[in-house]
Structures are given as C-alpha cells and as structure tokens.
Chains A and B, each alone.
Chain A
C-alpha cells in the first residue's frame, strides 16, 4: 500500500541545514495499523506530513497504491490526496460550519451532488456516533466529539489510507480510548490502512499491528508490536516500553545496602501467549532446590495476546542458582534478563 524509499527531509535556512529525516525506508501493507513512535523532535510529524506531501521531501520516493506522489503535478496530487484522509491533533475543523457541513466539505470539493452529499454525511455521522450533533457547531462539542467529526470528514471520500497526526494527544485517557476503539472499528469495517504517529506507547499497544521507532530523524527499530514489547533493542524503545509496562524495580532492590538481601539473583522474565500457562517457576524450584521470590508481576494484552512480565529473586546454592538461570536463558518461549547476580553466584564465576 505505502512504500517509502530513502526519504530525506532537510530544512535549509540561510545559516544552517537541519536534517529532519534521513534514510527512511518503510513498507506498510494494506489493512495494517502502522504506528510510528518517537520522542518529540524525532521527526514524526514531518514524516507523516511527507506521506501526503504537506511537507515536500528533499529526496526519496513516497509511493502510495503504486503511485509515486513526488512525481505528480499539483492537479494530480490534489486528486491523489483524496485517497489519503488525515486527522489532526487539534482537529482543524471549520468553526464557521456545522458538524454536517464540516463532513460535507471534502465532498463539496470533490464536486458531489447535494443529495449524495446528504446521504453520505448522514452515514458517516452515524458511523462515528454523532448523528444527533449534525447541526451543532464544533465549539459546542467536546474534544473527543470534535475528533470524531474529524474522522468522519477524513473518511468522506472513501480513502484507502487514514493518516493520524497525534490524533489523541490532546485528549484525556478515557476519550483517547474511545477514539482508538473507533479507529480500530473503521480499520476492520472499511479495511482502511491506518498510519499513526504518537509519543504514547499506550496508543501503539492498544491498536497498532506494526510499529517503527523514530529517533533523531531515523528509524532505529521496526517490527510487529508484540515483538517490540517483548524484546526491545534500542534504548529509546526500552524507555517507551517501560512507560507502559513498568518493571523498573526500586533502587534498593537492585543495589541493597545490607548484605542479607544481596543473597538473591534478580531475573526479569517476559513471556507471551501459551508459555504463560506453563508451570515454569515451580519446575525450577523442584529441579534446582532453590527459593524463588516474586517481586513484580504483570500481565497485559497486546492485540489479544497475553503478555506477561515477572521479576523474581532466586536464592540458594550459588551453583544451583547459576544452573537455574542458565536453563531459563535457554528457553525459547521466554525472554530473560538478569538484572543482578547474587553474591554467591558471582563468587563462582
């Protein structure tokens, strides 16, 4: 559906050049909900604005449905943009128009007949759950309702792609949830491809199938959301994942002052799906004669798949503890990270 090849965006001023995006390659399949996350200033907004050429790339290709947007004339680009709906952080509704007139706006631009516009507007307002607000003005609506109008407007021309530019960033958590539900819903009902940028990992976790992590104008990590959560590689990704699944232990656990508590090894175990049902811990206890302390546990769902994190303290004979950890590390279905070795284990190695 969407292919980006070697995209670059450089802002030139008289004194300096600022590289906003560098060597961006992306492939987004039809029907995916693709998230792009990054800290502020990473170039997320620039990237999504390059997808409909609101921002003109300095070099590289933006191919949407087989058409390279960077090679189109302005007339052809206007036509192509009708396939790319967009919603915004600040909704960007026309204040002088009612809800229905706002949704009708893109249809007017497309030169549709009045009767067809009316039917389509009714249908869209029903889809986003605002049929009763047709004659209200945007200023009379809450933020969440305004974003719903924005979504209805973006869908008016039956686009193949919906671009979401920080669409939930100015909404409260509850409203964010309901907007995300709506996006998921239209993704399934209309089979529309959604590309969204956000700085909230919660949003990625909630609805995205794939995610790319942007930092300093480059994609540093990319993959299925579940893999990224299970096994984040980059520092920035780890920080984002921790923001949602916080398995950070208090400092006194990791570096205790008194010797008594230094006798256990701390291990973080992450697991998905079926492996959550295995009696992993009790097997370990039996097999290696060790004591296991559960310090932290959490189970979450990402796209319907259970995803758990456990931090355990293992106590016992140094050799046995070492063997137990080795066994954990060898298991394919769990990710294991040793946070701290016990004194006794350190003495062996």
Chain B
C-alpha cells in the first residue's frame, strides 16, 4: 500500500519534463505572438477610418487575417498547417513543431485583444498629443501603448491561459508537454494518478499566470 505522499511524488521526473515542455511551448509561442499580435492589433486600429493612418486596404487585409484564422478551430488549424510546420522546422512532431500552430493561432487572438485595449484609449488624449506636434508613430509608441498597457497585460494573460490549454491539445498529437503525458499515461494506460497530477499542475500554472497578470496590470494602472 502506497502512502498518499508516495503517490504524489511518483513519476515526478516524467511530470517535471512535461511541465518544462509546456512552459517552453507556451513561453516561446507567447513571445512571438505578442510581437506580431501587437503589430496586427495596432495596425487594425490605426488604419481604421478617421484614425491616425487611415488606409482601408491595409485595414481590410489585417482584419480579414484576424477573422479567418480566428474562425478555424485550433485542432483543425493544427493539422491543416502541417506542411507549413514541416517547411519551417523540418518535422511535424515534437515540441518545436507544436510551437508553430500555437503561434499561428495566438497571433490573431492577441491581435483582437490588442485592438480592444488600444480602442479604450480616449480620443481626446490622442488629439492632445497631435496638437503638441506628435507624429502618428509617436502617438502609437508614446501614447496608445503606454496608456493601454494595463488592459494589454490583462489581455495577454488571457492569451497565455488559452495557450496553456492549446498546448495540451497539441500534446494529444505528439507535441509533448503535460497534455501528451495526460493522454498517454493517464488515459491510454489508465494511470489515474498521473492524470490527476497533470490536471493539478495545469491548474496551478493557470492560477500562477492569472495571478501574475492581475498583479502586473494593477501595478501599472494609475487610473
């Protein structure tokens, strides 16, 4: 008869490896998608009618990208872009390969979040900067992004949590990470304790990300 403690610490090496893979996948796809999502989101806002860099063609292209990618369920997107993934990283299996669909899915998601955060910035503040002689680029860098930062951080927290759950899905098709362990050990080998522990780890991870995001947003918010 194993003690509860023994059950909890067993398979710790396996789970530790899975956790690291998950953090790696989420972290890297998060970093890349934040950069592109920021460009996409800001781009969509400033090219709108009557905005800083009004351009209806660019606006149409950007919002179409967001809408198209956002409307494909992740599990389908993941397999649909396998040729592209192979082209990029040489394989469609493993942690590196998983980062490609995760990033592709997260960019438009982040884009939308950035878009709504940027739109919260009052028009009057933008006008104030313009009458002081700011260029559109200065307005974006010095006004829009700093003013929207607290909402941006909260929004990016949502992206991070979504990525944790997406990373578990890629795990199911050989992407590695906690999802992979949950499916192979917990489900296919009926190791209920492993299943339980992966779920516990995922909950802790999500709580941690949310807590950090809330803390950072509150710290930056001077409203």
Q: Which residues of A are interface residues toward B (Cβ below 8 A)?
A: 52, 54, 78-79, 81-82, 84, 86, 88, 90, 92-97, 105-106, 108-110, 137-139, 153, 156-157
Q: Which residues of A contact B147 (CB under 8 A)?
A: 94-96
Give bound CA distance, A92 to B132, whole Å. Answer: 12
Interface residues of B toward A: which range?
20 to 34
Give bound CA distance, A261 to B125, whole Å. Answer: 60
Main secondary structure of the interface of B (DSSP, over half): helix
**Inter-chain contact A137/B131, CB cutoff 8 Å:** no
**Inter-chain contact B130/A54, CB cutoff 8 Å:** yes
Task: Pick the 4 closest A-B CB pairs, nearest first.
Answer: A92-B128, A137-B222, A92-B124, A106-B132
**Inter-chain contact A78/B133, CB cutoff 8 Å:** yes
Give bound CA distance, A78 to B128, whole Å. Answer: 12
Q: Which residues of B contact A97 (CB under 8 A)?
A: 146
10 interchain pairs (CB within 8 A)? A81-B130, A81-B132, A86-B131, A92-B127, A93-B125, A96-B146, A109-B133, A109-B138, A138-B222, A157-B132
Q: Find the B residue at minimum CB distance from A52.
A: B131
Between A90, A94, A97, the greatest number of chain B beta carbons within 10 A of the residue's beta carbon is seen for A94
Give bound CA distance, A94 to B129, whole Å. Answer: 9
For chain B residues 121-166, which have a beta carbon within 8 Å of chain A? Answer: 122, 124-125, 127-135, 138, 142-143, 146-147, 149
Q: Which residues of B contact A81 (CB under 8 A)?
A: 130-133
Given contact pairs A92-B124, A96-B146, A96-B147, A54 touches B131 in the complex (Cβ within 8 A): yes
Give bound CA distance, A86 to B143, whole Å. Answer: 17
**Inter-chain contact A84/B131, CB cutoff 8 Å:** yes
- Our pick among B122, B127, B132, B223 for the contact of A109 (Cβ within 8 Å) is B132
Shortest C-beta distance, B54 to chain A (Å), equals: 13
Shortest C-beta distance, B221 to chain A (Å), equals: 8
Shortest C-beta distance, A196 to chain B (Å), equals: 15
Shortest C-beta distance, B143 to chain A (Å), equals: 7
**Inter-chain contact A105/B132, CB cutoff 8 Å:** yes
Q: Which residues of A contact B128 (CB under 8 A)?
A: 86, 88, 92-93, 153
Q: Find the A residue at minimum CB distance from B126.
A: A92
Shortest C-beta distance, A58 to chain B (Å), equals: 16
Q: Find the A residue at minimum CB distance from B139.
A: A109
- Our pick among B127, B130, B142, B223 for the contact of A105 (Cβ within 8 Å) is B142
Starting from the known contacts A94-B147, A157-B132, 9 additional A-B residue pairs (CB-CB under 8 Å) come to A81-B131, A90-B124, A92-B128, A94-B125, A95-B222, A109-B129, A109-B134, A109-B142, A153-B128
Give bound CA distance, A153 to B132, whole Å. Answer: 9
Give bound CA distance, A199 to B131, whole Å. Answer: 23
Give bound CA distance, A111 to B130, whole Å. Answer: 15
Give bound CA distance, A267 to B102, whole Å. Answer: 84
Shortest C-beta distance, B223 to chain A (Å), equals: 5
Q: Which residues of B contact A109 (CB under 8 A)?
A: 129, 132-134, 138, 142
Give bound CA distance, A264 to B1, whole Å. Answer: 114
Q: Which residues of A contact B127 (CB under 8 A)?
A: 54, 88, 92
Give bound CA distance, A333 to B40, whole Å. Answer: 70
Q: Which residues of B contact A156 (CB under 8 A)?
A: 132
Give bound CA distance, A157 to B128, whole Å. Answer: 14
Q: Which residues of B contact A79 (CB under 8 A)?
A: 133
Q: Find the B residue at minimum CB distance from A82.
A: B133
Q: Find the B residue at minimum CB distance from A106.
A: B132
**Inter-chain contact A88/B138, CB cutoff 8 Å:** no
**Inter-chain contact A92/B133, CB cutoff 8 Å:** no
**Inter-chain contact A110/B133, CB cutoff 8 Å:** yes
Q: Which residues of A contact B130 (CB under 8 A)?
A: 54, 81
Q: Which residues of B contact A153 (CB under 8 A)?
A: 128, 132
For chain B residues 72-129, which have a beta carbon within 8 Å of chain A? Answer: 122, 124-125, 127-129
Q: Find the B residue at minimum CB distance from A102.
A: B128
Given contact pairs A86-B128, A105-B129, A108-B142, A95 touches B135 in the complex (Cβ within 8 A): no
